[in-house]
Structure formats: C-alpha cells, structure tokens
Amino acid sequence: MRALLFLIPLAFVVSCKQSKKSGEVEETPVQTEAQAEALVQKGEKTLSTYCYQCHNPEVTMDNMLAPPMIAVKNHYITEDTSKEEFMADLRIWMAGPSEEKSKMPGALEKFGLMNHQIYPDSIITVIGEYLYNNEVAEPEWYQEHHEEMHGKGKGKGMGAGQGKGQKKGGQ
C-alpha cells in the first residue's frame, strides 16, 4: 500500500515533466493592461532613442534625414506580412543595409542607403515588436506626400492607424 501511495504522485510528476519534454506548448501568461502599457512605453522610448535621430516624425519633409517610420512601416508591413516575416526582414536589414534588401526604392533615391547601425538584437526586437503592433507617429505632411506618390488608397502598407495589434495608447 505504501508503494502505491508513493508511485501515484511520482507518476504524476514524471508525466508532467514528460509532457513538457515532448514539445507541448505551455500556456503563456496573459498580460495585464499595465504590462501591455509598459511594453508600449518601452517601444516608444526605444524607437525615439535609436530611430528618431534620422526618422523623426517632428521634422519637416525638407529636413528629413531618412523616411519617417510610418513610411518604413507602410513598405515593410502589409496585410499579408506576419510578425515573424517582418522581424526577419528587419534583422536582415539591420545586419547590413543594401539596395538589394530595400523595399523602399524612392527612399533610396531621395536619402541614399542607410548607414549600418550596430544594435543588440534585444533593441531590434523591441523596435520591431513596437512597429508591428502599434501605430507610429505620422508627420503632418506625410499623408499628402503619400497620396501624391502612391495615390489615394493604393498603398500596400498598414500605416495610418491600420497596423496590426494595439493602437497607440493600448487597446
């Protein structure tokens, strides 16, 4: 009888460990609203610190050093783009920008090729997650410029509030 009482809990522990080893997916804890907001704030701060030096949405069109991030988002994230595809494209681009890798020929013509920036993968991940899941600031002049370049409603991207996931300020 003692052996049976010992074997039942042991079997339970072993079976739990085996299910994790067999590749079953564990449930991910649900984020609280506060945790989600903290991630948004971290993304905004990271984008501001690392990207807005050149992609600043507050700068006039004539003073831009690079296309605004909304333009980057519009060209790299379409309705069919998964987060994994976008993150892979971003990592490939950041590993060494080149004309062959670019999805923005107009920006290459206007601004030239982006200088190679060496950022840790953790920073690239935060920036990519934020871009994919949230709206980004749009310069006042951008919509008119976008329509002039691409026509009304003919863009492939998901900017201008059409991004996947959370809206600015959480949702």
Q: What is the pTM for the complete model shown?
A: 0.68
N- to C-terminal Cα separation, the chain: 56
* 133 within some domain: yes
pLDDT at 169 over 80: no
Whole domain around residue 144: which residue ranges?
34-150
Residue for token digits 């990271």? 46
* 114 within some domain: yes
* 1 within some domain: no
Q: How many domains does the chain have?
A: 1
* 28 within some domain: no
Largest distance between two CA atoms of the chain:
84
Select from 135, 131, 129 the least CA-distant residue to 160.
135
Tell me what pLDDT residue 157 has. 47
* 77 within some domain: yes
Given phi > 0 = left and psi -120 to 50 = alpha, else beta, which region is 169? left
Tell me what pLDDT residue 152 has. 67
Residue for token digits 């690392």? 50
Write the DSSP symbol of residue 120.
-
The band of 108, judged by pLDDT with boundaries at 50, 70 and 90, is very high
* 117 within some domain: yes
153 vs 5: which has the higher pLDDT: 153
* 69 within some domain: yes
* 85 within some domain: yes
